[in-house]
Amino acid sequence: MITNKRLIRICSAIIGISGLTILFSTLYPIASYEWEANARYPTLISPLVEEERGATLSESDFTRASNWFPEGAKKEDFVSQKVSYFTLSIPRLEIENATVTVGGEDLSETLIQYPGTALPGKNGNTVIFGHSILPIFYNPQNYLSIFSTLPTLKKGDEVYVSYDGVSYRFRVEAMFEVLPTDIQVLDQDTSDSFLTLVTCVPPGDPRKLKRLIVRARLVPFSQANANIRY
């Protein structure tokens, strides 16, 4: 028969093991991402003291797209235009026809196109923000977690955007990290049609210190059609 003291010790052990498991499952994905990212992604670093950066960003609500690049577009820029939308699909991440809102900033409801960036298929840079949390909670149909596995994309992977009745195919060319002060990644390059996907990294890190940039280029329709198998 189990005594009260022994039962208390067993319960304490279970609680302790559960706590360590939760702590490990929270911290390991963040540490693992940082380890792999140091080797995989080049990083554009701006001269910003980490302590000041962390103190400022920790006060922000990152379900609001206007908080991602504080020196970029302001809240009124996100909501001042007429709201419309298009859809985005990423086969590797099992994202299918996710809604991208033009003229909004609530990342818990949709993906968000950054104000002033080109519309899909036009010369310029279409910039899309998506929220991320710990990858173990990834759900491609949940906009709070939709870009949690964005770091697993590779060069050559394809992204599809459906806008105004036309389906555009983009191919990933580069992936790198920037700080929230590095707003040059939002600039327009009209030499071709580009797509830029952005999320906070490491996924699940509450400090939200860096942004992962996935840059893709439009696949010309002639090349896209040549790859279709009948």
CATH code where residue 157 lies: 2.40.260.10
- pLDDT value of residue 207: 79
Is 181 part of any domain? yes
Is the per-residue pLDDT at 49 higher than 50? no
Instruction: Report the range of poorest mean pLDDT among 32-46, 47-61, 112-126, 170-184.
Output: 47-61
Is 88 part of any domain? yes
Is 35 part of any domain? no
Give the count of beta carbons closer than 10 Å to the beta carbon of residue 217: 16
Within its chain, how far is the Cα of 43 from the centroid?
16
How much is the average pLDDT of 55-59? 50
Is 123 part of any domain? yes
Residue 185 backbone class (left: φ over 0; alpha: ψ -120 to 50; beta: rest): alpha
Our count of domains for the chain comes to 1
- pLDDT value of residue 103: 84
Q: C-alpha distances in angstroms, 206 versus 30, 135, 193?
A: 10, 14, 33
Antiparallel, parallel or unpaired: β 111-113 and 124-129: antiparallel
Is the per-residue pLDDT at 174 higher than 90? yes
What band does 93 get if pLDDT is binned at 50, 70 and 90?
very high
**Contact status, residue 163 vs residue 178, Cβ threshold 8 Å:** no
Is 7 part of any domain? no
What band does 50 get if pLDDT is binned at 50, 70 and 90?
very low
| Phi (first) and psi of residue 139, to 5 degrees | -145, 115
**Contact status, residue 197 vs residue 159, Cβ threshold 8 Å:** yes
Distance from C-alpha of 212 to C-alpha of 185, rounded to nearest angstrom: 11
Q: Which domain holds residue 155?
A: 41-226
Is 218 part of any domain? yes
Instruction: Report the range of poorest mean pLDDT among 53-62, 94-103, 120-129, 161-170.
Output: 53-62
More confident residue, 94 or 12: 94
Is 146 part of any domain? yes
**Contact status, residue 82 vs residue 59, Cβ threshold 8 Å:** no
| Phi (first) and psi of residue 103, to 5 degrees | 105, 40
Is 106 part of any domain? yes
Distance from C-alpha of 185 to C-alpha of 196, rounded to nearest angstrom: 9
